Amino acid sequence: MGSIDKLIAYKDRLYVLDKNIAKSLLAFNREGTFIEKIGTMGQGPNEYIKIKDFTVNTNKNEIILLDANKMIFYDLDGKYLKSVQLHDEDCVITTLQYFNDLIYTDIHAFQKKEDDCLLQVVDIDNGMRKTRFLKTNEQNKGWNETFVANMNYFIPKLDPPFLFRHSFMDTIFSITNKGLSPYLVVKSKDMITEKDLVLPSNTDPFDFLRSLSEKDKIYNIFSYFETNNYISFQYFKGTNLKYVIYNKKDRTTRIAEDLYNDLVFTGKQPYTTRFIFFDKNGVYEYINSNKSPYLLSFIRDKKLKERFNDQLKDFNEDSNPVIFYYEFK
């Protein structure tokens, strides 16, 4: 494996998506032992060309892979069940979320229109669009290009409310039985604006991202998790990463530039992290393979808590990504 693009913990397994190196959905037990690969790459009806995303139907205990233009259904052990063609001729779909026998997906329209939306509902049985939500011009500063779509727009979790956000949205929306509604709003004079996103036509994507990093503006809410008392997430302000903790009880917000993990590491060392999945019991954090030197430096300098020394004694630059699980108390 090279990276963890998405993780879902369900029953006794961890389902991990690596889009670029393994190019597979892999199943592990809760201790990290590999069990099996879900599905196979190919062009057959029960094979995928490239996995974009996956979700879990907890009502039927099914895994649903998002392929180039179809959904592929498997049981939890990887047995193929069926495929459903997506009728997405007018758009690109990159992420999906199961809820209440429906599939929610993002939308990136090929031909831009005033009424373009960010979110749609798809029939789980026939792949047809049922309805659309969240106009791009109103909710995402008019932006809906795929080359900034390096995120899963649905915050990975298994229980409602399911949460949706986009690169330049200041609002996280919840999806429940009552419909779609604002769940959390980030308010700041430094939020990115529609004017900040206006560039000359045919601008190279890398030039756009460079210009974005040069602006000292807030965008891209990610690494989100929530407990009974707190909400935590990260965002970018220009090139700087910020950590946010919101106290639900007294409604106060703390913002920090550095994070210190005294549960895993000794000493007070700045710590870069990414939380990837949470449920009512705890939250999962990961360190991808490209961050191996960072973790190795802590190991070599003996800055790990004693309980982790044995578990990571054989870790090296060629090792798979590392997952830490933190139980809520």
pTM, to two decimals: 0.92
Query: In which band, very low, low, confident or very high, does the pLDDT at 299 lie, cut at 50, 70 and 90?
Result: confident
Q: What is the pLDDT of residue 180?
A: 96
Higher-pLDDT residue of 139 and 309 is: 139
Higher-pLDDT residue of 101 and 89 is: 101
* CB-based contacts of 323, cutoff 8 Å, min separation 6: 4, 7, 14, 32, 284, 285, 286
pLDDT tops 60 at residue 150: no
pLDDT digits (tens, 9 = 90+) for 117-137: 999 999 999 999 999 999 999
Tell whether the torsion through CA atoms of 142, 234, 188 and 97 is positive or negative: positive
Q: 160 near 176, Cβ under 8 Å?
A: yes
Q: What is the pLDDT of residue 149?
A: 47
C-beta neighbour count of 205 within 10 angstroms: 11
Whole-number Å distance between alpha carbons of 95 and 90 = 16
Q: What is the pLDDT of residue 148?
A: 57
Overall average pLDDT of the 229-247 stretch? 94
Q: 118 near 139, Cβ under 8 Å?
A: yes
Q: 64 near 82, Cβ under 8 Å?
A: no
pLDDT tops 90 at residue 88: no
Query: Which segments within 217-317 are labelled E, that is strand?
Result: 218-226, 230-237, 240-247, 252-256, 275-278, 282-287
